[in-house]
Amino acid sequence: MKENRIASVVFLLVALVYLALAFLTIPKPTVLQILGPDVFPKMIGVVMLFLAGLYVLQSFRGVEQTDEARAAIIGAEEKLSEYVDVKTIGKMLALMLVYVWIFDPLGYPLATFLMFVTGILILDRRHWMRDTIIAVIASFGFYFVFSLVLRVQLPAGPLKWLGL
């Protein structure tokens, strides 16, 4: 499909520009650090470039035809042809605004957990127990990785009294 080829090239160009900006615009830290402020933008740029390159290869080799056949088998074409659920999109946008509003008072772990669980209720209620466990592991896991390993200060909210 012509649209996929155009999109893949656009994504590749965006990834190249992002990676170039990550290397050219982020200043080197004046204090010796193991991980400076430029590490994560560069890592994201490399991953973006790799994925965009894969997308370019797939779109120019004609892999999307097998994807369309696979989509027809699992019924994805029916889902794509349905109307856009504006109500669900509005609920998710409202959820994101509430997340921004409660982020500092409740802290990252609790606010993120509540956002995940509420998003599960809005989008899909079939596997709520599994998704709730994933929400706990992801929100608190990411908090601990950022605060303890990477030493990035995220708001702890009421969990401060636990020493987190």
Residue type, 161: W
From first to last of the 164 residues of the chain, give the pLDDT tens digit: 678 888 889 999 999 999 999 888 877 777 776 777 778 888 999 999 999 999 999 888 865 555 566 666 555 555 555 566 788 889 999 999 999 999 999 999 999 999 999 998 888 777 788 888 999 999 999 998 888 888 888 888 887 777 66
Res 102: pLDDT: 93
Res 158: pLDDT: 84
Main-chain phi, psi angles of 26, to 5 degrees? -85, 120
Res 156: pLDDT: 84
- Separation between Cα atoms, residue 104 and residue 155, nearest integer Å: 6
Write out the two tokens for 83.
Answer: 């109307």
Given its phi and psi angles, is residue 151 left (phi above 0), alpha (psi -120 to 50 degrees) or beta?
left
Helix residue ranges per DSSP H, the chain: 2-25, 39-61, 64-74, 76-81, 86-123, 128-144
Res 128: pLDDT: 80
